[in-house]
């Protein structure tokens, strides 16, 4: 027993030493050597391998990607590690969360190459350039084309439409407290009806039978009649999802249909813009800047849609065929200033919860 | 000695001196034992114990205590001042109180329901012989080691909209609290079957028969003879189930809708969504207090219920069911298992193979094909490889840490040395034991974010290294290892070693020839459990920024979060692979388990 014990002790020491050694060799706190640049991001980040390889070859940097949970968790991790960041660049903070890291000084200024190709209205920090817009995505009500055709009913087009009796009990949305499209839909109503008017809208929506699911996965995959994974077993022909969901439904299908099986109610959209920024205190500032330039490069921007199902911010980036054929462009999406969101978010969510859930 | 008593699931067996340990069972009622100091000088035993305890203590201090204290401290300290007023503030918020209340009652209800449904199962597994028993025991354990994301979606496939129950009976539970309770049963069924059933299979049926001969009715005999003997293991199973459901996260997230939140879900919301660290810190403390109280009550109730048991090898007690009553019981238990466990798992598999154009390998092929071009999709081979590699490292860490903890806990105190100090020592040992259970009752997001704020300075800047993932997994694996190793280590009869020494064996040889063969199988079983649990660990792993080598559960969660049939199918395909890997390990464990039973 004692021998055994001593052996165990020795082995533990060995393992722990190894762990520390591995750490030391692996380079700590981001990019130990100047040849590696570290991107800190959320779980949904994606890029084509050839596109990334191309950047690595041209710049001479090896890209290391660290993912830290969903968008909210990843942003909060970056905020907690302010000044001593895990990497060099953070990607994936959207306008609903932007104020927090900006106020806390998480990002250092850098004006990325190619910013002149990005519409001015998307630039959240036009003076200091602490964050760079990378992509936009619209959260909109999606409808099941077949369901509405069968019922000979016109799908809704605006937020107001959703409160009409003919759309009673048809809509499922997500929990604004825990789901990013759920919050976006709440913000769409704030943008449309104003800070004092949105509560009344939700009362009407509630009376019209809006249902709240805990997550997008559940709302879209299980409740929505139009998603193919639901196999037609869902019960709600209207769901709060993304403007890019219709093309996603068609992606990878062997005999693609003429039209996507789902459509988008264009008057219900809220625009989310995702930003990236150089982390202040980054070890490899030079590499980080090169990486930011890459995120805004035409190559990466054109790769975005099929990888992350979002739209590029560069005006000269061409959309892939899947998007131009099945996607819909939303001309006038709602949006709310990040500062305003930061000030009111918690109160809005609390009020919303009491109106829509309880 | 049946393996099931050595699982996670059997803290009773761990709480040693009072619990009849295997050595007692083999030797009969414990007589005065040889003083351990006869073998080793007292001081040396002390030192060895210290050295042994140092390893797990250091591990838990650095990778659990420090991070959790750091994140809680960050929440409760502002500008160098402790903001203890926050505690009262948070605890008087009616919304929070409602969360606490819901957490408590759903855990109690889930535990009661699990016991009600699984105790007959435990009896059937213990007392009946039927074909496919071993396989079935592995099958009911699969949900327990699957990550909650997968369990959640498997369960929705059963009880959700358009699920099997909906189609067959028009029963839908996806928005009611029943869905949560039943999912918890689905999850924890195996805990009860293995813990209680393991002991039950070794209870000597002749005792109950004797009571009946003496005139007791069937019920009275059961109540007076069998129930008291089972009580500690039922309490142990209840404790574990309560602990798991009290800290339930994934199930509530998937099935709870926005109406239901446990403390764990609320901590996640406060930390990951709102970054309200003070509130999260208070909630973490509340959860800690509750878990600690639970462990204390358990330890206390154990001491009150000790009784020496007469155990026999399991194969002597199981027989083929006889009579209509027994067949009905067997069939209803099999029915419950079929509906609660087998069907959801099968639906998962069916969705993995059911492509848009009929059944086939479409989604598996898609996984393989897309991974060549994109960083998002992980090739199944790669995800399996990552998972296995991480789990292997986590297993080594868990075995070393848990093994030395178990060894330290078995060193003579323990051997009831007369004289001072022993009582205090026993308390210390028990406290240490409970301490090592704490990670099971701690929010994953707390641990994950704790790692982030605590391990950020050299030489411990581990934030962006791969080792963090197996470390987080090992935290969950260690309690399992200890539960498995303790009873066996305690069972090694000192006299065997002494006999070897008398016969001229060197201490090393004695260890190799006596201890090692006895401990080896337990080691294998412990490794298996640590391995499967690490394989399925999802919580903390998600909240650690990880270098880009996703494990299976993480890859599954990623896929589920995307629109499009293809991704959903691929998520199911990956889940199926994970399930098969878990089931494979569990089946291998069943083999070891069978080998063992003949021995002790």
pLDDT digits (tens, 9 = 90+) for B126-150: 888 888 888 888 888 888 777 777 7
Asked if the C-beta of B38 comes within 8 angstroms of chain A's C-beta atoms, the answer is no
Chosen for mutation from B539, B565, B575 (greatest number of chain A CBs closer than 10 Å) is B565
The predicted structure's pLDDT at residue B66? 92
Q: What is the phi-psi region of residue B31: left when phi exceeds 0, alpha when psi lies from -120 to 50, beta otherwise? A: beta
| Chain A partners within 8 Å of B569 (Cβ) | 229
Burial of B288 (0-12, 13-18, 19+ CB in 10 A): middle
Please tell me which of the candidates B55, B272, B565 has its beta carbon nearest to residue A228.
Answer: B565
**Is the distance from CB of A286 to CB of A60 less than 8 angstroms?**
no
Crossing angle, helix B227-246 and helix B94-127, to 10 degrees?
Answer: 140
What pLDDT score does B567 carry? 75
CA-CA distance, B215 to B209, in Å (whole number)? 10
A3: how many CB neighbours lie within 10 A of its CB?
A: 17
Number of CB atoms found within 10 A of residue B505's CB: 16
Buried b (16+ CB within 10 A) or exposed e, B245-271: bbbbbbbbbbbbbbebbbbbbbbbbbb
User: Which 3 state secondary structure label does DSSP give A213?
Assistant: strand
Is A50–B404 a contact, with Cβ atoms under 8 angstroms apart?
Answer: no
Residue B365 has pLDDT above 60, yes or no: yes
Res B600: pLDDT: 21
Structure tokens at B203: 């209870």
Give the relative orientation of helices B380-410 and B552-560 as an angle to the nearest 10 degrees. 130
Contacts of A252 in chain B (CB under 8 A): 366, 564-566
| Residues on chain A touching B465 (C-beta within 8 angstroms) | 22-23, 26, 28
Domains and CATH numbers, chain A: 27-136+273-312 (3.40.190.10), 138-272+330-356 (3.40.190.10)
Interface predicted TM-score of the whole assembly (ipTM), two decimals: 0.77
Q: Would the CB atoms of B272 and A70 count as touching at under 8 Å?
A: yes
Q: What is the DSSP code string of A260-285?
A: -SEEEEEEEEEEEEEEEEEETT-S-H
Which range, of A122-126, B285-289, B387-391, B489-493, averages the lowest pLDDT? B489-493
Count how many residues are written for chain B: 600
List, run by run, the mean pLDDT of 10-residue segments along chain A (358 residues).
46 48 41 77 87 94 87 88 91 90 94 93 90 95 94 95 96 88 94 94 96 85 77 83 90 81 94 95 94 96 90 93 87 88 88 88
Quote the pLDDT of residue B142. 82
Which 8-state DSSP code applies to residue B440? Answer: G
Distance between CA A353 and CA B9 in Å, rounded?
A: 39
B290, B385, B274, B282: which is closest to B76 by C-alpha? B282
Query: What is the spatial distance between Cα A317 and Cα A117, in angstroms, rounded to a whole number?
Result: 9
Q: What digits encode the pLDDT tens for the residues B507-555?
A: 778 777 777 777 777 788 788 878 888 887 777 777 776 666 778 888 8
Distances (CA, A) of A273 to A132, A251, A276, A336, B562: 10, 23, 10, 11, 18
Q: Is B410 on the interface with A (CB under 8 A)?
A: yes
- Cβ within 8 Å, pair B467-A22: yes
Question: What single string gives the DSSP state of each residue in B153-187?
Answer: HHHHHHHSTTSHHHHHH----TTSHHHHHHHHHHH
* Cβ contact B250:B152 at 8 Å: yes
Q: What is the pLDDT of residue B23?
A: 28
Tell me how far the alpha carbon of residue A150 is from its chain's centroid.
33
From chain A, pick out residues whose CB is under 8 angstroms from the CB of B453: 80-81
Higher pLDDT, B175 or B241: B241
Rounded Cα distance between A230 and A236, Å, is 11
Strands (DSSP E) found in B446-599: 546-547
- Tell me which chain A residues have a C-beta less than 8 angstroms from the C-beta of B516: 4
Cβ contacts of B485 on chain A, cutoff 8 Å: none
Q: Which residue has the tokens 């409970």?
A: B434
Q: Do A222 and B174 touch (CB under 8 A)?
A: yes
Query: B223-260, pLDDT tens digit by residue?
Result: 888 888 888 788 878 888 898 899 888 788 777 767 78
**Does A221 sit within 8 Å of B546, measured CB to CB?**
no
User: Mean pLDDT throughout B554-570?
Assistant: 74
| pLDDT given for residue A186 in this prediction | 96
Q: Residues for chain A: how many in total?
A: 358
Neighbours of A222 (CB within 10 A): 26
Contact B254 A215 (CB under 8 A): yes
For residue B111, the model assigns a pLDDT of 96
B59 vs A12: CB contact, 8 Å cut-off?
yes
Task: Give the DSSP H/E element, type plus range, for residue B345.
Answer: helix B343-353
Task: For residue B300, give the DSSP letter.
Answer: H
pLDDT at B215 over 60: yes
b/e code A9-36 from CB counts within 10 Å (16+ = b): bebbeebbeebeeebeeebbbbbbeeeb
Instruction: Give the closest-approach CA distance of A73 to chain B in angstroms.
Output: 4
Q: What is the DSSP letter of A252?
A: T
The verdict on a CB contact (< 8 Å) between A12 and B404 is yes
CA distance B480 to chain A (A): 17
If 0-12 CB within 10 Å is exposed, 13-18 middle and 19+ buried, where does residue A225 land? buried
Distance in angstroms (rounded) separating the CA atoms of residues B22 and B484: 13
The CB density around residue A150, as the number of other CB atoms within 10 Å, is 10
Residue A216's closest chain B neighbor by CA? B561
Domains by residue range for chain B, with CATH: 1-28+38-80+361-600 (1.10.3720.10), 84-305+318-350 (1.10.3720.10)
Indicate the pLDDT class of residue B377, thresholds 50, 70 and 90.
Answer: low
The answer to whether the CB of B165 falls within 8 A of the CB of B158 is yes
Q: Measured between alpha carbons, how far is B547 from A38 in angstroms, rounded to an integer? A: 10
Structure token pair of residue B596: 């063992």
Q: For residue A218, which residues of chain B lie inside 8 Å, CB to CB?
A: 156, 254
DSSP result, B13-79? HHSGGGSPPHHHHHH-S--PPPPGGGTS-HHHHHHHHHHHHHHHHHHHIIIIIHHHHHHHHHHHEET
The pairing of beta strand A171-174 with beta strand A238-242: parallel
Q: How are beta strands B77-78 and B358-359 bridged, if at all? A: unpaired
Residue B30 has what pLDDT? 33
A/B interface, count of CB pairs below 8 Å: 255
Confidence of residue B373 (pLDDT cuts 50, 70, 90): low
B380/B66: higher pLDDT: B66
Q: Which residue of A has its CA nearest to B457?
A: A29
CB of B458 within 8 Å of a chain A CB? The answer is yes
Chain A hits for B544, CB-CB cut-off 8 Å, are 68
The pLDDT of residue B21 is 30
Token pair in block for residue B150: 């997968």
B358 at the A interface (CB within 8 A)? no
Find the mean pLDDT for residues B353-371: 74
Compute the average pLDDT of residues B492-505.
79
The tens digit of pLDDT for each residue in B78-112 reads 777 787 788 888 888 888 899 999 999 999 999 99
Question: CB distance from B401 to chain A under 8 Å?
Answer: yes
pLDDT of residue B425: 66
Contact state of A222 with B160 under an 8 Å Cβ cutoff: yes
pLDDT at B424: 61
Tokens of B196: 């209680």
**Chain B residues inside the 8 Å CB shell of A67:** 545-546, 548, 550
- Asked if B456 and A214 come within 8 Å (Cβ–Cβ), the reply is no
How far apart CA B436 and CA B494 sit, in angstroms, is 26
Rounded to a whole number of angstroms, the distance from the CA of A264 to the nearest CA of chain B is 14
* pLDDT over 80 (residue B423): no
Residue B465 and residue A29: Cα distance in Å, rounded?
9
Collapse the DSSP code of B437 into the 3-class scheme (helix H, G, I; strand E, B; otherwise coil) and give the result: coil
Q: Which of A5, A47, A74 sits opposite B52 (nearest CB)?
A: A5
CB B90 within 8 A of CB B278: yes
Are B51 and A223 within 8 A, CB to CB? no
Q: A239 pairs with which residues across the strands?
A: A142, A172
Give the pLDDT confidence score for residue A313 in this predicted structure: 95
**A229 to B445: CB separation less than 8 angstroms, yes or no:** no
Beta strand A132-144 pairing with A311-312:
antiparallel
Helix (H) / strand (E) element for A137: namely: strand A132-144
Q: What is the DSSP string of A33-75?
A: STTEEEEEE-TT---BHHHHHHHHHHH-PEEEEEE-SSHHHHH
* Residue A48 structure tokens: 């084509």
Which chain B residues have a beta carbon less than 8 Å from that of A70? 272
Q: What is the pLDDT of residues B433-444, one digit of tens each?
A: 778 888 888 888
pLDDT at B25 over 50: no
Of A9, A40, A45, the CB nearest to B52: A9
| Burial zone of B591 (CB within 10 Å; 0-12 exposed, 13-18 middle, 19+ buried) | exposed
Is residue A158 classed as helix, strand or coil in its secondary structure? strand
3-state DSSP helix/strand/coil percent for chain B, to nearest 5?
75, 0, 25
A-contacting residues in B 113-142 (Cβ below 8 Å) = none
pLDDT per residue over B178-206, tens digit each?
A: 888 988 998 889 888 887 887 787 777 88
CB pair distance less than 8 Å for B547 and A234: no
Q: Which of A24, A37, A217 to mutate to test the interface with B (most CBs of B within 10 A)?
A: A217
Q: Does pLDDT of B401 surpass 90?
A: yes
Q: Does B557 touch chain A (CB under 8 A)?
A: yes
The answer to whether residue B454 neighbours chain A at the CB level (below 8 Å) is no
**What angle, rounded to 10 degrees, do the helices at A285-295 and A49-59 form?**
140
| Contact: A28, B462; criterion CB under 8 Å | yes
């Amino acid at each position: 027993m004692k021998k055994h014990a001593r052996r165990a002790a020795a082995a533990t020491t060995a393992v722990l030493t190894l762990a520390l050694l591995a750490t030391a060799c692996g380079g700590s706190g981001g990019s130990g050597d100047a040849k590696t640049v570290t991107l800190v991001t959320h779980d949904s980040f994606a890029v084509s391998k050839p596109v990334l390889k191309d950047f690595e070859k041209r710049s001479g940097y090896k890209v290391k990607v660290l993912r830290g949970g969903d968008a909210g968790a990843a942003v909060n991790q970056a905020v907690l590690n302010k000044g001593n960041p895990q990497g060099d660049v953070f990607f994936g903070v959207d306008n609903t969360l932007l104020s927090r890291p900006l106020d806390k000084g998480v990002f250092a200024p850098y004006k990325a190459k190619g910013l002149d190709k990005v519409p001015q209205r998307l630039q959240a920090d036009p003076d200091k350039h602490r964050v760079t817009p990378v992509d936009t995505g619209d959260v909109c009500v999606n409808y099941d084309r077949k369901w509405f055709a069968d019922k000979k009913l016109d799908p809704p087009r605006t937020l107001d439409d959703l409160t009409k009796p003919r759309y009673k009990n048809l809509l499922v949305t997500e929990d604004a407290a825990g789901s990013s499209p759920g919050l976006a839909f709440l913000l769409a109503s704030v943008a449309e009806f104003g800070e004092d008017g949105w509560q009344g809208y939700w009362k009407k929506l509630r009376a019209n039978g809006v249902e709240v699911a805990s997550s997008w996965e559940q709302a879209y995959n299980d409740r929505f009649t139009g998603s193919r994974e639901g196999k037609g077993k869902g019960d709600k022909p209207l769901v709060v999802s993304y403007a890019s969901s219709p093309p996603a439904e068609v992606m990878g299908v062997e005999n693609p249909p003429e039209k996507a099986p789902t459509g988008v109610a264009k008057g219900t959209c809220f625009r989310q813009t995702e930003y990236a920024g150089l982390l202040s205190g980054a070890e490899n500032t030079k590499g980080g800047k090169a990486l930011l330039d890459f995120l805004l490069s035409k190559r990466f921007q054109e790769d975005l849609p099929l990888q992350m199902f979002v739209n590029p911010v560069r005006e000269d980036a061409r959309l892939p065929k899947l998007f131009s054929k099945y996607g819909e462009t939303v001309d006038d999406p709602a949006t709310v200033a990040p500062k305003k969101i930061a000030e009111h978010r918690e109160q809005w969510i609390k009020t919303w919860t009491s109106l829509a859930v309880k | 000695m049946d393996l099931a008593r050595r699982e996670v699931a059997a803290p009773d067996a761990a709480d040693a001196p009072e619990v009849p340990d295997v050595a007692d069972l083999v030797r009969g009622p414990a007589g005065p034992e040889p003083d351990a100091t006869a073998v080793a000088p007292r001081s040396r035993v002390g030192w060895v114990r210290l050295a042994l305890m140092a390893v797990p203590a250091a591990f838990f201090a650095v990778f659990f205590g420090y991070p959790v204290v750091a994140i809680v401290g960050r929440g409760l300290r502002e500008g160098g001042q402790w903001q203890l007023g926050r505690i009262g503030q948070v605890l008087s918020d009616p919304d929070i109180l409602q969360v606490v209340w819901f957490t408590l009652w759903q855990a109690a209800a889930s535990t009661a329901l699990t016991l009600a449904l699984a105790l007959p199962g435990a009896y059937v597994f213990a007392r009946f012989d039927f074909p496919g028993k071993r396989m079935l025991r592995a099958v009911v354990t699969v949900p327990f080691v699957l990550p909650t994301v997968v369990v959640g979606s498997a369960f929705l496939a059963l009880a959700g909209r358009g699920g099997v129950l909906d189609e067959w009976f028009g029963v839908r539970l996806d928005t009611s609290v029943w869905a949560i309770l039943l999912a918890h049963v689905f999850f924890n069924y195996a805990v009860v079957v293995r813990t209680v059933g393991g002991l039950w299979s070794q209870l000597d049926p002749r005792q109950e028969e004797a009571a009946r001969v003496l005139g007791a009715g069937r019920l009275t005999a059961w109540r007076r003879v069998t129930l008291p003997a089972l009580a500690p293991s039922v309490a142990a199973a209840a404790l574990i189930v309560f602990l798991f459901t009290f800290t339930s996260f994934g199930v509530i997230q998937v099935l709870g809708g926005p109406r239901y939140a446990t403390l764990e879900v609320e901590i996640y919301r406060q930390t990951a969504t709102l970054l309200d660290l003070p509130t999260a810190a208070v909630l973490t403390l509340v959860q800690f207090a509750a878990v600690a109280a639970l462990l204390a009550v358990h330890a206390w109730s154990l001491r009150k219920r000790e009784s020496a048991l007469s155990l026999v090898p399991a194969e002597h007690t199981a027989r083929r069911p006889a009579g209509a009553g027994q067949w009905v019981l067997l069939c209803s238990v099999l029915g419950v298992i079929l509906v609660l466990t087998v069907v959801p798992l099968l639906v998962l598999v069916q969705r993995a193979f059911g492509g848009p154009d009929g059944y086939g390998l479409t989604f598996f092929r898609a996984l393989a094909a897309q991974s060549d071009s994109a960083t998002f999709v992980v090739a199944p081979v790669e995800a399996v490889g990552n998972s296995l590699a991480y789990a292997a490292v986590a297993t080594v860490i868990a075995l070393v840490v848990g093994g030395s903890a178990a060894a330290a806990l078995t060193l003579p105190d323990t051997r009831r040395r007369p004289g001072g100090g022993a009582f205090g020592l026993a308390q210390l040992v028990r406290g240490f034991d409970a301490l090592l259970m704490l990670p099971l009752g701690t929010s994953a997001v707390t641990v994950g974010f704790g790692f982030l704020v605590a391990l950020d300075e050299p030489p411990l800047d581990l934030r962006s290294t791969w080792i963090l993932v197996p470390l987080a997994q090992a935290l969950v694996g260690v309690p399992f290892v200890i539960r498995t190793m303790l009873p066996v280590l305690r069972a090694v009869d000192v006299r065997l070693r002494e006999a070897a020494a008398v016969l001229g064996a060197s201490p090393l040889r004695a260890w190799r020839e006596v201890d090692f063969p006895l401990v080896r199988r337990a080691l294998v079983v412990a490794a298996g459990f640590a391995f499967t649990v690490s394989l399925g660990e999802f919580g903390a792993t998600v909240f650690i920024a990880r270098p880009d080598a996703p494990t299976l559960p993480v890859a599954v969660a990623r896929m589920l979060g995307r629109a499009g049939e293809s991704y959903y199918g691929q998520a199911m395909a990956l889940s199926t692979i994970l399930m098969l890997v878990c089931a494979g390990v569990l089946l291998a464990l069943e083999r070891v388990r069978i080998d063992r039973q003949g021995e002790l």
